[in-house]
Amino acid sequence: MKRSAQGFGLIEIMISLVLGLIVVAGILQIFISAKNTYASQNAAAVMQEDARFILTKMTQEIRMVGMFGCLDTVKDSSTNADFAAAERTPIRWDSSTKTLTLVTADVGSNGGIPTWTVLSDCKSSATAVSGVGSPTASQLAFPVRQLVYQFANGQITLGGAVIVNNVNSFSVLFGLANTTSDTVVTKYATSLAATDAVRSVRLTIELKDATGKVENQTFSVLAALRNLIN
């Protein structure tokens, strides 16, 4: 009596191959999906970090705008006699060139060489000199910098150095009080006739992903001025 043949037939082998391919395709799909998710999350995190960095930096500097020492009146003894003009308009936004100019007290100890230094005894005299000033024994030194941010060609630069790339748009909105003595913001404006009524600044930045993995993201922050501008 013949014993029946043992093993797999052609149909069984083909079914096994198809099932194996389906399993492999499923695993590959899961892997690709996980990889794309990681890449998009990483791209979004980079955009958030860039926005956090630039907006935090600008906010710190805006809060110190108008802080020129401990006295209201400062004598301008700068080399080019340019401190007085900067003191009168310590915050400016040129919407045509997308340029934000801040005249602000140094934040921290890593600000580099100041544009001016205000030397004051905090009693009766305060004098602004260009660059680094040397206070006497009875004086304090207040470093002041003029910072120029510009948005152009998808970048925000500071003094010509690139701070953030992949910027789609950047805008500045000023919160204004009714009078120079009021502290409450009653309206917002994109341009200024004068700076003495500015009480806050809203910065809005839209970033894009260079790889196209995530959609553009918009970030906004409101910074209040600590020092009234007169």
109-154: pLDDT as tens digits: 556 789 999 999 999 999 999 999 999 999 999 999 999 999 999 9
What's the total number of domains in the chain? 1
State the residue range of the domain holding 95: 11-224
Answer whether 12's CB lies under 8 Å from 169's CB. no
Q: Report pLDDT for 227.
A: 80
Answer whether 115's CB lies under 8 Å from 145's CB. yes
- Domain presence at residue 1: no
**Cα–chain-centroid distance for residue 219?**
9
- Domain presence at residue 71: yes
- Domain presence at residue 230: no
Q: Report pLDDT for 28.
A: 84
| 230: its two tokens | 């007169």
Answer whether 221's CB lies under 8 Å from 200's CB. no
Q: Report pLDDT for 230.
A: 58
One pLDDT digit (tens) per residue for the chain, 230 residues: 455 556 667 777 788 788 888 888 888 888 777 777 777 888 889 999 999 999 999 999 999 998 898 998 999 999 999 999 999 889 999 999 999 999 998 765 556 789 999 999 999 999 999 999 999 999 999 999 999 999 999 999 999 999 999 999 999 999 998 888 888 899 999 888 778 889 999 999 999 998 888 899 999 999 998 886 65
- Domain presence at residue 39: yes
Q: Alpha-carbon distance 171 to 82, whole Å?
A: 27
Q: Report pLDDT for 164.
A: 95
Q: Report pLDDT for 108.
A: 56
Q: Report pLDDT for 117.
A: 94
Q: Report pLDDT for 24.
A: 84
- Domain presence at residue 229: no
Nearest to 222 by CA among 22, 100, 55: 55
Answer whether 144's CB lies under 8 Å from 104's CB. yes
- Domain presence at residue 4: no
Q: Report pLDDT for 228.
A: 65
Q: Report pLDDT for 193.
A: 72
- Domain presence at residue 6: no
Nearest to 169 by CA among 220, 115, 212: 220
